[in-house]
Copies of this chain bind each other. A is one copy, B any other.
């Protein structure tokens, strides 16, 4: 039984797929989202929600520009979602502090981010005392920090929920429990997808399946083009709130303070297949990092812990653009920045699907570098 019910099928109901579906529906397209679990069930709900376009960037270039452009959209996007479905995604421009434990660390941080200041972005060097004005709980080992006052945060679970509700309200159809195993073609063109033995037909298909994207047969992605990189988070409760914004440790890892006093302690970076568990070592690591940053967290109750997967690519750049089949597109591989990049990715891929020219040059994110045909060139990069 084949049903041509939509102009576009989106594979994956995470923030990427839902934001795209919303934008497509707002542009008048009929959209079907096929989601293997529930909308937002995976990385979208597991993320810390740090919108760190600056602190996450390691070099100038297209990813940095994409992040800044997407970060700039969030105040309006959050307001739009509140308007559409009444959900506050808790967007807050709390800034991000990159902490260090000695002078050398501060010099290294400054050198690492000098290019951002040169590019006109705000980066502020803080002594330990100055940093403690922003984060009074900073531990005695913290020697100074770089502040990125324009980086922000939101609540990924609220955001994922708002996006799926807004998309549904805009007319998007969701099928949950539908694991897409294959992309169907008509010669050079995409024809639809196969999920749970059902054929869903549409002239456009977008792969937005995060860490599971490479598993979609027929999409043309190499087996390891997108691979799961596990991250673990432990959530604490503090009252009054012990952490104001986001503090990043020189050892990697971070704490994120929510307005209500919850503190997220993250995260690990692990190759563990799809083994979605919190481990003793992961939990010990994120707690150790958190307690060095803010020792006062020691008495805070542990209220939750979870693990999920960042969709990582071989070169750490997302895959955004047309795939080998006409009408087939990819929006995946956003690695550590899926929440941040979802706002702009949705607009860019909407334009691709609708045959418009996206306002951003997508050449650096081209899918060609991650296809089975190109795989032999890239494996050394991993």
Interface residues of A (CB under 8 A from B): 234, 236, 265, 277-284, 287-288, 290-291, 297-302, 305
Contact = CB atoms under 8 A, between A and B. Distances in A.
A113 B164 CA distance: 64
Contact of A281 (B277, B280, B283, B291): B291
A299 B281 contact: yes
B290 A302 contact: no
A265 B280 CA distance: 10
B298 A290 contact: no
Given A287-B287, A288-B288, A236 B280 contact: yes
A291 B282 CA distance: 11
A284 B287 contact: yes
Q: Which of A277, A279, A290, A305 has the most CB of B within 10 A?
A: A279
Q: Which of A280, A284, A299, A300 has the most CB of B within 10 A?
A: A280
A297 B279 CA distance: 8
8 closest Cβ pairs, A-B complex: A281-B298, A277-B301, A284-B287, A278-B302, A280-B297, A280-B300, A236-B280, A280-B287
Contacts of A297: 280-281
| Chain A interface helix/strand/loop/mixed | helix
Contacts of A265: 280
A302 B306 CA distance: 10
Nearest to A307: B301
A210 B201 CA distance: 66
Contact of A302 (B283, B298, B300): B283
Contacts of A283: 234, 283, 287, 302
A279 B302 contact: yes
A10 to B, nearest CB: 32
Contacts of A300: 279-281
A235 B265 CA distance: 20
Contacts of A282: 298
A284 B284 contact: yes
A287 B280 CA distance: 6
B291 A278 contact: no
A287 B299 CA distance: 16
A343 B299 CA distance: 35
